[in-house]
Structure 1
C-alpha cells in the first residue's frame, strides 16, 4: 500500500515530523510512506482566482493517488495548529481529495497527555461535510513527553510504545483493506437486495470534454442516445489540450504509404495491426470527415497553401515531421481555416455539442471518481461523480467513454510512469490522470505510459517561473537563445544537448532515432554580457525573460546561485570557447556559425524547464475503442478515446493526437450508444425514485440572451466567436459624439492565465485611443482578436442605427 504522511505544522523543527519519519522507516516492509510538508502551502484564501496554488494541487494529487493518509498532528492552544487547519480548508474548497479517504491520526507532544485535544478536534474537522474523510476509529496514538521519546537516530526508545504503534498501524492496514474491498464490490449506495442506488440515468456517459469527449458525445447523441458529458474543469476551461493546440489534424491520401510511415514512427514499439489500420484509414479520409461531420465545406490543406520555407517554422516542421521516412510524401495537415492556435477546431467541436443540447447534458467542475461495475460480469454500469460537495451515482445504460486526457499535471504519475523529476505543462492545467485510477480499479491493461510529446525553443524548453503554473509556449523562432555565446547547462553545469537542433515535438536525434532528451531538475541558459545585450536589442517573445535571469560577476559565483558545480561550469565554458574558436562542436555537433566564445564576465543564467504538451499513456484500447482488460478481453461497456491511452508512441508526427481524438471519439461514441443485451447481477433501478442528493441535475450549458441584458442610452452589445473560448459578449458606451467611453465584458470563456492581461488591458486601450484597432497582447492573440471583433460588432450597430 502507498500512504501519504502529512506533517501537521510549518515549524522548522517538529517532533511530529520525526514521528512520521520513524513510521515511514519502521513500517517500510508493509507500506510505502511519503512524508509531505505543508510549509510551502499559503494560508487559505477563498478569493484566489480560478485555480488553487500549485502547492495545493501537488498535495491534492498525492492524496488522490494514495491508499490512505497519516496525519501527524501537534497541539497548539489545546487545538489543531492553524497551518494544518488552513491546508484542510484548501482541501475542501475546490478540491476534495480527502473525501472517502482512509485517515490515521497520530500526534506527539511535550506533555504527558500527548496531542489528545488536538486529535479530537481534527477528527471533528475531518468528519465535516466537504471533507468527509474516513478516520480510523478507536485508535489514538498519543506520544507524550516527546523530548525523551527518541534516541539520536530518531528511533522511539520504549518498546511498549513501539508495540502499541504497531497495533495501531496494523489496525489501519486492516481498515484500509476493508475500505478498498467495499469500494471494489460496489462504489454505489447499497440496497438490501444488493442493488445500486442511482441518482440519475443516461444512455451514455462521456468523461472529459475535450476533442475526444466532445466527438464521442455528439456521435452517441446522433445514434439517439441521451448523453451526460462531464469535465473536471470549470466552465471556460474545458477543452483539454485541444483548446491550446495548433488546431492542425494529421491527414494523408495514400493508405499504404501512411501505414509504412507510421510503422517507422513506431519503430521497435509493437502496435496491433488492426487498431493501426483503423487509425490510418481515418487519417486518409480526414478531408471527408471535416466536410461530412464538421460542416467544413472547404478544409484547408497545409501542403497546398504553406509550402513556403519562410513560413512559420513550426508548421514547416510538421508536414511531414519525418521527411526521410518512406511514405512521408503523403503526409499533410488539415485545418478548419487558414489559421493556427486560435481554437478554431475546438470551437467547432464544442458547437457540435451545444447544437445537440436536447440530447447532451454537460456538467462542468464535476470530476469522475470511480467506475461502478457489475461484481460478476465486470460490465461498467455507471460512474460515481463529484457534483459540488456530493458524490452521485450516475447510471449508464449502454456505455461509458473515458476521454479524460493525460496526466501532465500529476507529478506523482510523471515520476512513476515517465521516470523524470518534473516537466512543465504548456497545455491544460486540468489533465491530472483521473482516468488512470478509474481504469486501474476496473482492471484495465495499460500502454504507452512512458511516451510524451514536448515543444519549445532549443528543442524542448520553456522558462521556469514559479509564478506561472503553465509554461510559456514560445512559438516564434528565438535565435538568440541558441546562436552566440550561450548554451544550455544541466544541473551540474555541463552541456547535454545541441542547442540549435530543430526538435521534433520535443524529441532530439540520438543514434539513429528521435527521443525525448534527458530531463534535469534545474537546467539553465548560460550566457555572457555580449549575449545579454544582444537579446535585449530584440523584442522579447517572453517579456519576463530578464526578470527571472540571474547575474554574477564570476562563473564560480554563478554556479553557486544556480546550484551547479563551479569546476564543471568553468570547464564547460572553457570547452565551449575552444569549440567556438575551432569551429567544431565535436561532442554535440552544433553548427560553427552559431557559437561565439564567452567574454570575461559578468555572466548570466536563466532558469529553464523541459516543456510538456501531452502524455500518451493510459488504458489500452482496441480497434472498436473498447478498453482492454489485463487478461486481454474487452471490459464490457467501457470505451476510450483521445490522449488517455493514445495510440501514438515512440516518434510522433504533429496533428496525430487530434486525428485520433476525431477518429476514435466517433468510434467510441457510436459503440457506446448501442443498446446492450447482457444481463447484470446488480439490481438496476432506472425507473425507481432517485436517491436523495444535494446536487444540480440540470445541464450547465447556458446560452446568454441579449434580452436579459439591460442597455442604457448610447449603449450597444457586440458579439464575437473569434476568441479561444467561444463567444465573447461586450457592452460599449459612447458619448454624444460617438466616442468610446466604456467597454464592459459581459461574457467570456477565455483561459484565465493566458488571457488575463488582454481582458484587462485591451478594453482600457480601446477607450483611451477611441478605437477597437489596438495592439494585441503578446501570448493572447486569439483573445485580443475576439475582443476587438466584439467591440467592432457593437460599433457597427451605431452605423446601422444612423
Structure 2
C-alpha cells in the first residue's frame, strides 16, 4: 500500500501520539487487547504535563471507597457534574466517564506497578453542590515508584531530576501537617523512589516496557494520512525526515492541549491566559491535524485555569517557567486584589474556578480589571508560609514587594493607597468576626482543607492582615492545559463535521474536547478523565 507512490516505511495496528497518561494508558489498552502498538513522542522526554503534575486522579465511585467507608454512587457523581455543567457537558460522555473510570483504575492496578489510595478528607472542589463529597473519597494518590527499575528510561521522563521521595498525601497539598522524617526520606532517596506525577508516568511506562513497547522520542507527528477509507496512518518526523506509519486499526491523538501556541490561544480561549504552566511541547499539534481532516471541535473556549507567579529569570525546558499559587492565597493573613486595590473573589476557592474571576470583563472601561492581580499578605503570613518557592522566614526576594505601610506598598505596585486601605480595613473587620460577607471565604469545606491544617475552623483560611511589614506578589492568569479539541463519541472516536465519525481516528486527554466540559470536579479532575478515555480509545481501536 502506498501514498503518492511512496511505500509506507512502518506499519502496526494502533499508533498512539503522545506520552502523557492519556497516551500511555491508550497504548497499554490497545496492546493488552492484542494489537501491535507504536507510540510516538514529539519531545526528547516522555510524560508531558502529567509528569509535572501532582499525579492525582479524580475518580467518582471508585473501588477503594467501600473499604474507606465513603458513601458515593453513580447517581451522586452524575448529579454533581450536572450541577456544575452550565449546559456544557454531554451527558453521555459524563456517564461514560463515571461508568468506565473505576473499571480502568482497577485494570491499571492489574497490568502495571501503579497502586492507588484515597487522599483522606480531600473534598471535591465544589463539595456543597448536589452530589459533592465534603469529606472526600474521589481524589486518589498513587504510590511511590523506584525510578532505577526503569534502567535507561529513568532519565527520559520529563522532570525526573526534580522528583521528590514523597507522595502528595505526605505534603501540605494533600492535607499533611507533618512530612516524613529525614531518615525515611533518605532511605527512599537511596532507592530512587519518587512520587506524584512522575511515579504515575513511570508506573504506566513500566507496564509498556514489560510488553516490549518502547516510546519513540523526538518523533513529531506532522500529518494524518487520510484516504477514502478514513485515517489510515500518520506522517512522523524523525531526524528531520518524514516517515509514513500505517495504522491498520487506528491513530489515537493524545498530544496534549494548545496552551503554548499563542495564535491558537488568541483564537479560541475565552479570556486572558498569559502564563502557561504545562509542557512547552503542548502547541496544538493534534488539534491542527484533526482540523485538517474535518474533525468537529468542542469546548474550545476553556482551559484548566490556575493563578501563577512568574519569577524573573526562571526557566524550565528552555522556556519561561511559572510557579502555581495554590496554598499561598488560601492560608490566613492574605487576600488578593485587582489593579484598583479591590478584592474580587474568594481567594480560597479552587484554582480552576479562578479563571472565571480573572475573565470578568468591564464593558465600560473595556478591560479585564482582575488580570493581572496582586496577592497581598502580612508579616505573620511571611514568617509561617512558603510563597511561590520562597521559604517561610524573614528573607524577601527581589520579585516580592514589601513596605512597612499599606500606602507605601500600594505605591510600589501602582494601586490607589486609599482604596487598598479601605479594602483591607473591611476585610480585617469581618475576618476578626470569622466571616466574609463579600465572597464567603471559609464557608466551603474545600476552603479550610487548603488553609492551615494546624488550625481548626474558618480561621484556617480567614484571619486579618495587620502585622507589618506587608508584602505583594504579582499574579497572572495561567493554565495547566487547554481542554478543547476534537469532539469524540463515547468510544473515543473523533466526530466529523460532515456527520458521523472519522474512521480510524481517536482522541484522549487534553487533546480532546473534555468529557466533563468546563468542570474540574476535584483534585485529579484532568488525569481521571484523560486516563479513562485513553483506556476507552485504546480498547476501541484495538477491536477494529
Q: CA deviation at 1:554?
A: 7.5
Q: Structure 1 residue 579: deviation in Å?
A: 4.4
CA contact (8 A) 2:257 2:282 kept: yes
**TM-score, normalising length from structure 1?**
0.50
Flag the 1:506–1:624 CA change in 2: closer, same or farther, 3 A: closer
Give CA deviations for 1:625-676 in whole Å, capped at 9, x if unaligned: 100011331001101112212212232223343232332222212332345x
For the Cα contact (< 8 Å) 1:252–1:285, is it kept in 2? no
| 1:217 counterpart residue number | 27
> For 1:125-176, what per-residue CA distance to the aligned partner results, in whole angstroms no more than 9, with x for missing partners?
xxxxxxxxxxxxxxxxxxxxxxxxxxxxxxxxxxxxxxxxxxxxxxxxxxxx
2:526 maps to which residue? Answer: 657
Q: Distance in 2 between matches of 1:515 and 1:538?
A: 27
Report the Cα offset of residue 609 of structure 1: 2.3
Within the alignment, does 1:332 sit opposite 2:138 as a pair? yes
Secondary structure at 1:346's aligned position in 2?
A: helix
Q: Deviations over 1:583-603 (max 9, x none)?
A: 57553345796454668x876
Residues 338-377 of structure 1: pairs in structure 2 closer than 5 A:
339-340=167-168, 341-342=195-196, 343-357=198-212, 360-374=213-227, 376-377=228-229
Going from structure 1 to structure 2, the CA distance change for 1:239 and 1:487 (only over 3 Å counts) comes to closer
Shift of 1:279: 1.6
For residues 549 and 190 of structure 1, do their structure 2 counterparts lie closer, same or farther at Cα, with a shift above 3 Å needed?
A: same
Number of the residue aligned with 1:258: 77
Contact persistence 2:12–2:247 (CA under 8 A): yes
Unmatched segments (≥5 aa) in structure 1? 1-187, 308-315, 455-459, 509-513, 676-802
Q: Quote the offset at 1:505 in angstroms.
A: 4.3
Mapped partners of 1:605, 1:333: distance in 2: 32
Are 1:248 and 2:115 counterparts? no
The alignment partner of 1:472 has SS state of: strand
Q: Is 1:483 the counterpart of 2:332 in the alignment?
A: yes
**Equivalents in 2 of 1:578, 1:267: separation in Å?**
33
| Higher RCO (CA-CA < 8 Å; seq separation 6+) | 2
Counterparts of 1:629 and 1:287 in 2: how far apart (Å)? 30
- Listed one character per residue, the Cα deviations across residues 215-260 of structure 1 (whole Å, up to 9, x for unaligned) are 222222233333221112213x434325523333414153333333
Counterpart of 2:163? none
Relative to 1, partners in 2 of residues 1:326 and 1:487: Cα closer, same or farther, differing over 3 Å?
closer
Partner Cα distance (1:533, 1:660) in 2: 40
For residue 619 of structure 1, report the CA deviation from its aligned partner: 0.6
Q: Is 1:280 aligned to residue 89 of structure 2? A: no
Match of 1:57 in 2: none
The whole-number CA distance in structure 2 between the counterparts of 1:539 and 1:245 is 18
Shift of residue 283, structure 1, vs aligned partner? 2.7
Matched position secondary structure for 1:205 = strand
Alignment pair present for 1:535 and 2:404: no
1:608 matched to 2:455? The reply is no
Is the 2:341–2:423 Cα contact (8 Å) retained in structure 1? no
How far off its partner does 1:470 sit?
Answer: 3.0
Residue aligning to 2:123: 317
Given candidates 491, 514, 519, the residue that maps to 1:624 is 491
Query: Which residue number corresponds to residue 108 of structure 1?
Result: none
Distance in 2 between the 1:523 and 1:673 partners? 49
Q: Counterparts of 1:510-589 in structure 2 under 5 Å?
A: 515=356, 517-518=358-359, 520-527=370-377, 531-532=378-379, 535-536=382-383, 542-543=389-390, 546-551=397-402, 561-562=412-413, 564=414, 566-567=415-416, 569-581=417-429, 586-589=437-440
Q: 1:588 to 1:323 in 2, by over 3 A?
A: closer
- Residues 649-688 of structure 1: pairs in structure 2 closer than 5 A: 649-653=517-521, 654-674=523-543
- Distance, in Å, in 1 between the alignment partners of 2:402 and 2:356 is 33
Q: Secondary structure at the match of 1:201?
A: strand
Question: How many angstroms apart in 2 are the aligned matches of 1:560 and 1:365?
Answer: 49
- Cα offsets for 1:703-754 (capped at 9, x unmatched): xxxxxxxxxxxxxxxxxxxxxxxxxxxxxxxxxxxxxxxxxxxxxxxxxxxx
Separation in 2 of the partners of 1:432 and 1:407?
A: 4
Question: In structure 2, do the counterparts of structure 1 residues 561 and 384 end up closer, same or farther at CA, with 3 Å as the change threshold?
Answer: farther
Q: Write the mapping of 1:407-446 to structure 2, written as runs, cut at 5 A.
A: 407-446=258-297
> How many Å separate the matches in 2 of 1:560 and 1:348?
51
CA distance in 2, matches of 1:225, 1:261: 37
Counterpart of 2:287 in 1: which secondary structure?
Answer: helix
**In 1, Cα distance between the equivalents of 2:116 and 2:47?**
26
Distance 1:535 1:270 in 2: 41
User: Counterpart in 2 of 1:190?
Assistant: 4
1: distance between equivalents of 2:410 and 2:486? Answer: 43
CA contact (8 A) 1:625 1:640 kept: yes
Contact 2:352 2:520 in 1 (8 A): no
Which whole-Å CA distance do the structure 2 matches of 1:551 and 1:326 have between them?
Answer: 44
Question: Which residue does 2:309 correspond to in 1?
Answer: 463
Contact 2:118 2:138 in 1 (8 A): yes
* Other-structure match for 1:13: none
Report if the CA contact (8 A) 2:113-2:204 is conserved: no
Describe the SS at the equivalent of 1:256. Answer: helix
Normalized against structure 2, the TM-score is what?
A: 0.71
